[in-house]
Amino acid sequence: MSQTRNNVFDEIKNTFAQTDFPPLTWTTNNYNNLYAWLKLENPSQLTEAAKILQSLQARLCTITAYTEDRSNAAKQKAIAYHFAIHDILFCVTVQIYDKETLEPLAVPSITPYFRNADWNEREFMEMYNIKIIDHPNPKRLFLDERLDAGIMTQLIPFSSMVHGTGSRNLWEQVMLEKMGYVPESYKAALQEPEFTKVEETKKEAPKPQTEEKE
Amino acid sequence: METKQHETKSFSLPLGPIHVALEEPMYFKLELEGERVKHVDITSGHVHRGMELLATKRNFFQNVVLTERVCSLCSNSHPLTYCLAVENLAGIQVSPKAQALRVLAEEIKRTASHLFNVAILAHIIGYKSLFMHVMEVREIMQDVKETVYGNRMDLAANCIGGVKYSVNLELIEFIEKSLVRTEKHIKEIIDIYATDKMILRRTTNVGRISAEDVIKYGLVGPVARGSNVRIDTRKTAPYLIYDQLDFDMITETGCDVHSRAMVRLRETLESIKIIKQIIRNIPEGELNTLLPHIPAGEAMARSEAPRGELFYYVRTDGTDMPLRLKWRVPSYMNWDALEVMMKDCEVADVSLIVNSIDPCVSCTER
């Protein structure tokens, strides 16, 4: 490790050792890049963590909101805040739900400490329907106001969106009929619709608009 | 003789999202006092495609293809950084040969991308002959891409664990010859951008952003380096074989549109320097490795894309699809900082300032 990195590493380690936060985890990769990981116990600790990271001259790289499992209806959301301090990447993770009731918790804005958190927080507010406390500019970033917050956590299959399922049902009906099997549920759908009979009237040929001259 | 006092009128001017002066679809609501911009309000989201959600429905292999399609100009940086993140997570070793070939692809793309941006600058200020000339020089690098990779934009060079291509002696000779041609032209172009009165008049002291604001807004890439802030992931947090290569981090002190253009132009020469070192000494070894099982966990990775630091975060649950894949491109912060760069500028300079951040909206909105 270079001297500068050693100093930064020691400074981070010593600063966080003096707090009540859980201990940091350190990892490295094949290129000798160093990563620090901090897991907060609840969102109320975020402000304090942001304050410390600002004092360490951290740069906010980005913020990632995510659900802890694949279920669309997952209530267990969490946020990972990614910082760079010198050449070290520092990730702060916090679960934003009550551990017993699974009810979502609001998250304090870190924009007073990191100005570029503005767009990141606005993005996860609309994409994940996360409540932010004291955001200076809480308007939509990408999504139109008319769309529900959190809509991007739902997968709407393209076939459903364009009514492709209707075509699939019709195709299945045609194939079943060809095979000589018509299930009860399809019989009603296959019956010809009853139309009101309209007596055909013989239409007269339209008269020319201009009278022919003799 | 009576002189009439002209009142300065305040009004709003909508610009975009589709406008002939804009390279990318973004809506700007400009508050003007006469010809001066007093405030800018940015509305984005016109090309939001939900790609991050889509990435969680694709397996790790398929996401290499998906991430290459986030953007065309930095299309190589996306799959590269995604692969770096997955490799960090699974502890996959990439051979020195594959690392060298990854750097080669990155620097070829950077040269073409930077030339494209400075060409657009000439186009915006109405210097059509210079625009055509720079685009013609860029075309040499486009030919290199097409010849080596078979494609002008999406190179398909990366895979998890290495690369999908190699270069033989014939290709190395072709690259070398192309570099000689490009380098000669770039030196002339740098001279033009540094001294031409028309360029200097339109770009100097325009779109200024101080080093303090660069740090405050978390800016990266040529925008930061144009304000003398020394951030270049290749130097500050080296990855692949960048720490073994001889090249300089380019900075300028003007903090304006001109400085940002000069950083990009001078960086193309550094990229050429890197490419020359790579092709003269490509190590022996495997191109890639077998894709192992990707364990549950999380990992971060970053690289220096043409526009600056590109960041990837991957979270996995032991299946063959990521639980979450997030990327943040340099343009993301640069858009936000336009409110500083455009403060008190003239309306005629708005498109020039937007171009100076080398914006990529498809990267930003994903």
A173 plus A147 within the same structural domain: no
Q: Residue A4: which pLDDT band, with cuts at 50, 70 and 90?
A: confident
Residue of chain B whose alpha carbon sits nearest to that of A62: B328
Answer with the one of A127, A153, A179 that is the final residue of a domain: A153
Residue A14 host element (H or E): helix A3-17
- Domain range holding B303? 10-365
Chain A residues with CB inside 8 Å of B238's CB?
Answer: 31
Q: How far is B100 from chain A (nearest CA, A)?
A: 14
Position A100, amino acid: E
B1, part of any domain: no
B17 interfacial to chain A (CB closer than 8 Å):
no
Which CATH number belongs to the domain containing residue B67 in this structure? 1.10.645.10
A15, part of any domain: yes
A165 plus A60 within the same structural domain: no
DSSP state of A70: S
The Cα–Cα gap between B298 and B44 comes to: 30
A142 interfacial to chain B (CB closer than 8 Å):
yes
Question: Of A35, A89, A143, which is closest to B45 when you measure between CB atoms?
Answer: A143
A95 interfacial to chain B (CB closer than 8 Å):
no
The dihedral sign for the CA sequence B94, B96, B101, B102:
positive
A89 interfacial to chain B (CB closer than 8 Å):
yes
Please tell me the predicted confidence (pLDDT) of residue B85.
95
Provide the b/e sequence for A176-191 (b: ≥16 CB within 10 Å). Answer: eeeeeeeeeeeeeeee
B45 interfacial to chain A (CB closer than 8 Å):
yes
A23 plus A116 within the same structural domain: yes
Q: What is the pLDDT of residues A116-166, one digit of tens each?
A: 999 999 988 888 888 999 888 888 888 877 777 777 666 666 666 665 666
Q: Answer whether residue A70 shows pLDDT above 90.
A: no
Q: How far is B88 from chain A (nearest CA, A)?
A: 6
* pLDDT in 10s for each residue of chain B, 366 residues: 455 555 667 888 888 788 776 777 888 888 888 888 888 888 888 888 888 888 988 999 999 999 999 888 888 999 999 999 999 999 999 999 999 999 999 999 999 999 999 999 999 998 999 999 999 999 999 999 999 898 888 888 999 999 999 999 999 999 999 999 999 999 999 999 999 999 999 999 999 999 999 999 999 999 999 999 999 999 999 999 999 999 999 999 999 999 999 999 999 999 999 999 999 899 988 999 888 889 999 999 999 999 999 999 999 999 999 999 999 999 899 888 988 998 888 888 988 998 899 888 888 888
Residue A81 host element (H or E): strand A77-85
Q: Answer whether residue A214 shows pLDDT above 50.
A: no
A208, part of any domain: no
Q: Distance from CA of residue B183 to its chain's centroid?
A: 20
Judged by CB atoms closer than 8 Å, whether chains meet at B237 and A33 is answered as yes
A149 plus A167 within the same structural domain: no
Question: Which residues, 6+ apart, have CB-to-CB distance to B12 below 8 Å?
Answer: B29, B30, B31, B32
Question: Which residues, 6+ apart, have CB-to-CB distance to A7 below 8 Å?
Answer: none
Question: Which residues, 6+ apart, have CB-to-CB distance to A201 below 8 Å?
Answer: none
Please tell me the predicted confidence (pLDDT) of residue B273.
95
A74, part of any domain: yes
Question: Of A31, A64, A84, which is closest to B239 when you measure between CB atoms?
Answer: A31
Judged by CB atoms closer than 8 Å, whether chains meet at A30 and B48 is answered as no
Q: How far is B293 from chain A (nearest CA, A)?
A: 18
A61 plus A10 within the same structural domain: yes
Which CATH number belongs to the domain containing residue A137 in this structure? 3.30.460.80
A112 plus A63 within the same structural domain: yes
Q: Tally the domains of chain B.
A: 1
Q: Which of A105, A152, A108 is nearest to A128 (CA)?
A: A152
* ipTM here: 0.89
Q: How far is A114 from chain B (nearest CA, A)?
A: 7
A171 plus A147 within the same structural domain: no
- Domain range holding A95? 3-153
Walk across the sheet containing B36-43 and list its strands: B10-15, B27-33, B36-43
Q: Tally the domains of chain A.
A: 2
292-311 of B, contacting A, C-beta below 8 A: 298, 300-302, 309, 311
A75 plus A122 within the same structural domain: yes
Question: Which residues, 6+ apart, have CB-to-CB distance to B290 below 8 Å?
Answer: B161
A59 plus A11 within the same structural domain: yes
Question: Of A29, A91, A143, which is closest to B88 when you measure between CB atoms?
Answer: A29
A48 interfacial to chain B (CB closer than 8 Å):
no
Q: Answer whether residue A210 shows pLDDT above 90.
A: no
Q: How far is B208 from chain A (nearest CA, A)?
A: 18
Question: Of B57, B94, B218, which is closest to A60 when you measure between CB atoms?
Answer: B218
The Cα–Cα gap between A9 and A25 comes to: 12
B5, part of any domain: no
A147 plus A80 within the same structural domain: yes
Answer with the one of A98, A126, A153 that is the final residue of a domain: A153
Q: Which residues pair with A38 in a beta bridge?
A: A92
217-276 of B, contacting A, C-beta below 8 A: 217-218, 236-240
Q: 């001066």: which residue's tokens?
A: B36
Question: Of A35, A86, A144, which is closest to B300 when you measure between CB atoms?
Answer: A35
B312 interfacial to chain A (CB closer than 8 Å):
no
Judged by CB atoms closer than 8 Å, whether chains meet at B44 and A29 is answered as no
A139 plus A76 within the same structural domain: yes
A15 plus A98 within the same structural domain: yes
Q: Answer whether residue A43 shows pLDDT above 70.
A: yes
Residue in A1, A39, A54, A66 to test binding to B, most B beta-carbons within 10 Å? A66
Give the largest Cα separation in chain A, rounded.
113
